[in-house]
Amino acid sequence: MTDQELRIGQRDRLPTREQINQITDLACLEDMKEEVDRRIARIETDLDYRDATVEWENRALSALSVHRYISTAIKRRLEKLSAPKLKKGERQKRTECLALTWMVIDGEFDKEDADTAEELDAKMNTLDEAIEALELDRADENAKHDTRDIAWCVEATAALKRVKAVRHALSLKKAAINRAEKEKRRLEMEGTRERMFIDACREILPKETYQMLWTRVDRQFVEAA
């Protein structure tokens, strides 16, 4: 990806959230999201495989962040337009929030129900998406100023703190697993190195000397036990 192509990540080359929220054509939004997601994939590929300068990587990461934000905004607009009509008496706000937002507020992500590295990665990815959805919805509500639902904002802020605490706890658990796996690999490498040393001694040393060393080791092992 060239520097010229990279500059598409700037806001003047992408639709703003306000422009997206004015679109009512689902097909247009779907095409727009497909294009933005394609650009995201290209930037991610370049970041993974391109041997570039730190300055270029920083610009690429910035562009990636903007594209992901716009992709989420388009997804949010698609979900709003596709949402079923409310029955009489249902809260209008439920059509104004992403599904993940209500899952966070309802406490569906409050449990630290992940243990393996794979489970932790999957749960943290879901939490990242949920946190992003809630923050977007909260920003939209706060932008209404005098007409915003203050009670909902308080509820959303409390939910955001809860889910971020869960995300942090899972991150600590994943770090502990990574340290344990790293220590396991170190011990395995150390064991392999020691076995290679023993094999080399068997090949190089006279048989009597080799056996004498083992006898000495066995005696020290029994005494230490």
What pTM, to 2 d.p., does this model score?
A: 0.50
- Predicted local distance difference test score (pLDDT) of residue 44: 87
- Residue 35's nearest CA partner among 18, 15, 17 is 15
pLDDT for the residue numbered 8: 40
- pLDDT tens-digit map of 107-136: 888 888 888 888 999 999 999 988 988 888
For the chain, which ranges sit under pLDDT 50?
1-12, 86-95
Asked whether the beta carbons of 29 and 74 are under 8 A apart, the reply is: yes
- CB 101 within 8 Å of CB 133: yes
User: What pLDDT is recorded for position 193?
Assistant: 92
In this predicted structure, what is the pLDDT of residue 148?
75
Residue 163: per-residue pLDDT: 92
Predicted local confidence at residue 85, as pLDDT:
52
Span 6-27, pLDDT tens digits: 344 444 478 888 888 888 888 8
Contact between residue 76 and residue 98 where contact means Cβ atoms under 8 Å apart: yes
Q: Which amino acid, residue 175? A: A
